[in-house]
Amino acid sequence: MSGPPAGVLTEAEDRQSTEQWILTTRLADYVAWGRKNSLWPMPMGLACCAIELMAMVASRYDVARFGAEALRFSPRQADLMIVAGTVTKKMAPAVKRIFDQMPEPKWVISMGACASSGGMFRSYPVVQGVDEIIPVDVYVPGCPPRPEALIEGIMKVQQLVEEGARAAQGGTRPERRVPASGAR
């Protein structure tokens, strides 16, 4: 037998020993913790950026360390869309539909120059930034970005997931950013 007999512990001591073992948290924080460490990306690979996206998932950079290795090719099982590549006007409806098919909550990374702003394709068949059709949370510059930069983007999304949970506790949902107009 270990420990003192019943009735010896004071109330404060008792509470202290309980708090040592029980972690209290808010449900929203707990859910956000789970969400941010198990992002399931939807690889929207449209051009050469997709090669770097694959490199990020492969063993050298191994995005499994961030819990985001389960690339789902079905939008209904994904919560993070990584738009990697040039979004043409022809592909835009498909990108939009796939985004709409993803269940809430969902986040979007715009990877590379083409997806973020059209890049060097300042021409009529290319959408000048995927944020003209879907709301983008994180922009990753580069042509193409290195896998490290994309990992940096995923870490940023994880941060946004946490901040979103905090904002939700305050009663306000984090608002989607509307792409700025003007000189691009």
Partner 1 sequence: MPLSGTPVRRPGRPGLLELTYLPSILKGMWITLRHMFRRKVTMQYPEQRWTLPENYRGLPALVRDEEGRVKCVACFLCEYVCPPKAIHIEAQEIDTGVEKGPRIFDINMLRCIMCGYCEEVCPEQAIFLTKEYTTVGVSRDEMIFPKDRLLEMGGVRPDPIKKWGRLTPRPGDGGRVDAPAGAGRSVTR
CB of 18 to partner 1, least distance (A): 36
CB of 7 to partner 1, least distance (A): 51
- Cα separation, 126 vs 129, in Å, equals 8
Cα of 81 vs its chain's centroid, Å:
8
Q: Applying CB under 8 A, does 86 fall inside the site for partner 1?
A: no
Spatial CB neighbours of 114, under 8 Å, sequence gap ≥ 6: 47, 49, 85, 86, 87, 120, 121, 126, 143
Q: Which amino acid is at 170?
A: G
**Region binding partner 1 by CB under 8 A among candidate stretches 18-26, 34-42, 109-117, 165-173:** 109-117
Q: Are 87 and 117 in contact (CB under 8 A)?
A: no
CB of 170 to partner 1, least distance (A): 19
CB of 103 to partner 1, least distance (A): 22
Q: Which of 10, 25, 59, 172 binds partner 1 (CB under 8 A)?
A: 59
- Cα separation, 13 vs 175, in Å, equals 45
Size of the site for partner 1 (CB under 8 A): 36
Q: Applying CB under 8 A, does 48 fall inside the site for partner 1?
A: no
- Cα separation, 135 vs 173, in Å, equals 15
Q: Applying CB under 8 A, does 41 fall inside the site for partner 1?
A: no
- Cα separation, 117 vs 128, in Å, equals 5
Q: Applying CB under 8 A, does 143 fall inside the site for partner 1?
A: yes
Of residues 9 and 155, the one with the C-beta less far from partner 1: 155
Before 135, cis peptide (omega within 30)? no
Of residues 70 and 179, the one with the C-beta less far from partner 1: 179
**Site of interaction with partner 1 (CB under 8 A):** 59-62, 65, 113, 116-120, 122, 129, 131, 137-143, 145-146, 148-149, 151-153, 155-156, 160, 177, 179-180, 183-184
